Amino acid sequence: MQLDVVVLAAGQGKRMHSDRPKVLHELAGKPLLGHVLDTARSLAPRRIFVIHGHGAEAVRAAFAGAADVEWVLQAEQLGTGHAVQQAAPKLAADAQVLILYGDVPLVSAATLKRLLDASRDGVAVLTAELPDAGAYGRIVRDGGSVKRIVEAKDASPAERAIKEFNAGLYAVSAKRLAGWLGKLKNNNAQKEYYLTDIVGFAVAEKVPVAAVKVEDAAEVEGVNSKRDLAALERALQAREARRLLEAGVTLADPARIDVRGTLECGRDVSIDVNCVFEGRVRLGDGVRVGPNCLLKNVTVGSQTIVNAFSQLEESEVGANCRLGPYARLRPGTSLAEDVHIGNFVEVKASRIAKGSKANHLTYIGDSEVGERVNVGAGTITCNYDGAAKHRTVIEDECFIGSDATLVAPVRIAKGSYIGAGSTISKDTPAGQLTVARAKQVSLPGWKPKKKG
């Protein structure tokens, strides 16, 4: 039986107090809806239908490249049942239908497979328990069997005391769903068409209703406020920290790490507090990352040390390198092995070969730096002339004195020495000392102006 997925993502999210549609708010660097779509895709569905409404254009634009998504507009939000009604004509007649929410991002593929398996003979609903289920609909049972679902606003005091709540995720055949959607009424406190009513219809028709309970309520909790979003962020990061610890990564404090993408680690990796990893990050064996670092779309070679407060983005770092503290690698940087990039050194769109060092207060941009080069403190490559970028080439075994200015395009030939304070705007000869600074003059008769 083929699978169709329906994702409800039309809500405004008033309690978010934001102009951004709720499902576009980010969790671990990805929109809430993005998490749901990724999980849905892992089930290999025939089609994914996203019911959208509030901020429809922005939502579609955020997922413009999602060819496997069919957008279904709910122009007027009249409840969850009404939302699914918009997609019903598009569902395959023989499909098993999985109904998800765009603001319930942490549900796992394994849980959804359990839900689908439980729905083979009828309808299955996902549930969990909380000491106080708050605004969630309650699961009303009769002798252990699910009898109905009552919304919190329509529940009696006894029903509101029920701890088991409806997570809102369902699995059911398209044929049964179509018949039940046609029976929905809006005679309730909200004057909305509730999808939860299909459970009552199933019970009335003696169709089996399975309640699939998850142990971790965070897996099915939705986002209705910034407070909810922050709570799920910590829950997701705690899950990621557990994964890293189980893989052998040393975390100074599992509560103070943020992975906003994919983090792969080799053996004996250690990560200090308050580090953020974005995009795809790969840390080789024995890598050590100091506190308060940001790494985004970076590969770091084995035994490299990234010291405190360093920022690495869209770069490749070789083995046995030493970076920081306060080092910055901007996009397009490639470091070979045994390279040192020290404090307050910035590198952009440059390649630095084996054994070269820039240890202090330096900018290297649009450059090719050879092997065993020493770049002195305060050196900058002047790569931009106001209209175009130009490249600087520093060949092997050069020594660049402190406070040197290299005006691109320029080539510093192999074995060159550049005197401190020089401004180099012409290619240098190999193996020679080049000095380019104004002559020092002292004026014996000069006197400072008197202060008023």
Structural contact between residues 378 and 359, judged by C-beta atoms closer than 8 angstroms: no
DSSP state of 389: B
The pLDDT confidence band at residue 451, using thresholds 50, 70 and 90, is: confident
Q: Identify which of 409, 411, 440, 445 has the alpha carbon closest to the alpha carbon of residue 428.
A: 411
Summarised one tens digit per residue, pLDDT across range 253-283 is: 999 999 999 999 999 999 999 999 999 999 9
Structural contact between residues 31 and 125, judged by C-beta atoms closer than 8 angstroms: no
CA-atom Rg of the chain in angstroms? 31
The pLDDT confidence band at residue 29, using thresholds 50, 70 and 90, is: very high
pLDDT at position 439 is 87
Summarised one tens digit per residue, pLDDT across range 280-304 is: 999 999 999 999 999 999 999 999 9
pLDDT at position 378 is 97
User: Which distant-in-sequence residues (6+ apart) come within 8 Å of 276 by Cβ?
Assistant: 258, 260, 293, 294, 295
Structural contact between residues 330 and 314, judged by C-beta atoms closer than 8 angstroms: yes
The pLDDT confidence band at residue 135, using thresholds 50, 70 and 90, is: confident
Overall average pLDDT of the 347-360 stretch: 98
The whole-angstrom separation of Cα 192 and Cα 178 is 18
- Where does residue 75 rank: exposed (0-12), middle (13-18), buried (19+ CB within 10 A)? exposed
Summarised one tens digit per residue, pLDDT across range 184-213 is: 999 888 889 999 899 999 999 999 999 999
The whole-angstrom separation of Cα 156 and Cα 135 is 13
pLDDT > 80? residue 1: no
Structural contact between residues 96 and 171, judged by C-beta atoms closer than 8 angstroms: yes
pLDDT > 90? residue 252: yes
pLDDT at position 145 is 82
pLDDT at position 151 is 85
The whole-angstrom separation of Cα 412 and Cα 113 is 62
**Homologous superfamily assigned to 3-220:** Spore Coat Polysaccharide Biosynthesis Protein SpsA; Chain A (3.90.550.10)
Q: Which of 150-159, 242-251, 276-285 has the lowest mean pLDDT?
A: 150-159
Reading the block at residue 184, the tokens are: 């929905």
Structural contact between residues 404 and 422, judged by C-beta atoms closer than 8 angstroms: yes
The whole-angstrom separation of Cα 289 and Cα 324 is 10
The whole-angstrom separation of Cα 446 and Cα 451 is 16
Q: Identify which of 28, 17, 20, 85 has the alpha carbon closest to the alpha carbon of residue 59.
A: 20
Q: Which of 25, 54, 360, 390 is catalytic?
A: 360
Summarised one tens digit per residue, pLDDT across range 51-96 is: 999 999 999 999 998 999 999 999 988 999 999 999 999 999 999 9
Domain ranges of the chain: 3-220, 226-434
Summarised one tens digit per residue, pLDDT across range 302-317 is: 999 999 999 999 999 9
Task: Indicate the pairing of strand 138-142 with strand 145-150.
Answer: antiparallel
pLDDT > 90? residue 32: yes
pLDDT > 90? residue 404: yes
435: helix, strand or coil: coil
- The answer to whether residue 17 is catalytic is no
pLDDT at position 232 is 96
The whole-angstrom separation of Cα 22 and Cα 9 is 8
CATH number of the domain at 226-434, please?
A: 2.160.10.10
Matching CATH topology for 3-220 and 226-434? no
Structural contact between residues 151 and 137, judged by C-beta atoms closer than 8 angstroms: yes
pLDDT at position 136 is 86
pLDDT at position 142 is 84
Q: Identify which of 333, 245, 39, 31 has the alpha carbon closest to the alpha carbon of residue 263.
A: 245
pLDDT at position 288 is 98
The whole-angstrom separation of Cα 449 and Cα 452 is 9
SS3 letters across 161-182: CCCEEEEEEEEEEHHHHHHHHC
- Put simply, whether the predicted model's pTM sits higher than 0.85 gets the answer yes
pLDDT at position 12 is 85
- Beta bridge partner(s), residue 382: 407
pLDDT at position 450 is 84
